[in-house]
Structure 1
C-alpha cells in the first residue's frame, strides 16, 4: 500500500460513496473501483460491499481503514518533525474550534499570527466542543478551541471568560420569565446544563419555549425582532445593540460565567510551530 491508497480508504470511509470519493480525489470511478479490487486481491479480503445507498465496509475493511488513518497520521507527524529540525516556524497548523469562536475570535488570532509568521498555513475545522476534545486527543488536530468545562487530561489554558445574559427587546423581570415566550438554540450539552440548572434553582414550572433555532446568531435576531427572550453568552452580543439585559447569577448572587479553553497535547510542543502558536495565544485575554 502507498500513501495514495491510505488517502483513498480514509476518504471512501468518510464519504461512504464511490462517486463522491472519486470527485474529491479527482479520479474516475472505474479507476477507483479497480484500485479497491487490487487492494482486495493484495490482502486476500473483501474490503467493502456496494449497494444502492453507497458502500458498507466489512470488518476487515474497517481494520484496513484504521491502519490507513494511523499511517497518514504518522506520516504527517514525521513531516512536521523533520520540518521542525530546521527551527523555522512554517508548515500547516491544524486547528479545531467551536463555531462561535471561529466566527468571533479566531479570524483575528490567525491574521495576527500569519503576519508574524507568513510561511504558516492553517487548516481549520469547526465542530462541537465534545468532538474537538476527541480530535485533539486522537491528534487529528494540533490545537482545540473549546467552549465549556470538559474533562481534558492534558494541557489547557483559559482564553475566554464571559458573562451570560438574559436578553429581551423590552424591559422584563426575572419573575416574568416562566410566562414569557423563550427562544432557544442548538448548543453544546455543557451550556444546556448551565441553563437547565439555573432554571431549576429559580423556577418550579418549565419555561414557555415557543421557538428553537439552529444557532445563537439567529436566536439573537429573533429577540431583536421582539419575538421573545433568550439566554445568551456575551460572545454573540454587541455593545451598541438595543437589548435589555439581565446578568445570569447563581443563588448566591455570583455571576455565572462561560469559559473557553485552548487544549493541546504536551508532546506536540516539540513542534516549533505548535509551541509558538500556544505561546502566542496563551497571554491573550479575548473577553
Structure 2
C-alpha cells in the first residue's frame, strides 16, 4: 500500500470536505488497483490564527494556504485540499493544481433570524460578513443595511448570529451544503445581486509538479467543466491582481453548446467600492478560458475598475 498524506486546515468545513475528497480518491484507487491508503494531517494557517481582524486588513495573499503549501514543498504532505476561492493566482514554484473536482453550489446565501429573505430584512438590519465583495454588493443593493465584519469558521459564525445582535449573516452556500447544513439557509442570493468569489464552490487539490503518481491519481478526479470555468475566473483574478483584500467577484458557466468543438463559456466579473457606491459588472462569452478572463477584466478596467481597486489597496 502507498500511504498518501493529505494536508488540510482544521476547521469543521475543511476537515469535512477533505474527508469527502479522501473517500472519493480511495474509491478511485480501489477501482484502478492503485493501492493507496490516505492519512489526513491538520495544519493551522495564518488566516486561522488571526480572527480578530478583518480579512482585508490582515494583508498578504494566501492567508489560508501558505502553510499547507510549505508542507508540500517540505515533503510533509503529498497533497493539500483547499477551497479554490482561497487560492492566490500564482502558485509557488514546484506546486501545481492537480485536480479541480466537480463544483458545489457557487452562490452566496443569507442566514437570518426567522428564515427571512434579504428583501424581508427590516430597514437598518445588522448583517455580518467577512468579505469586502459581499459587503460591497449588499450595500449597493440595500444601502440601508448596516454591515459589520464577522470572522471565524462557519459554526462559530452561526453561533454569533444567535448570541450577538446580528439580524443576518452572509456565507458561501457550498460550505453549508458540504456539511449537510442546508436547512440553516434562509435564502440563496442570485448572482445578479451578489456575484460569487472567484472559484467559490470549487475545491483545489494541490500537489508537487514532479509527483507523477499523484498527478495520475488526481487526473482521474478532475471535472472538465468545473476546471474550465475556474480557469476563466482565475484568469480574471490574475489580471486584476485580486485577493480577499479587494471587492472583486467572478462566475463562469459552461454551455452545452460548443463552437468549433470547444465548450462555450460565459463569464461575468465585478469590481465594487467597499461602500457599494460603485459596482461595475461586465460579461462576455468565448471558448478560451484564459482569454475570456482577460477580456472581462479589461472591460472593467476600461470603466475604472483599476481606479477602484487602487483606492481600496491604499
TM (norm. structure 1) is 0.50
Query: Could you say which structure has the higher helix fraction?
Result: 1
TM (norm. structure 2) is 0.46
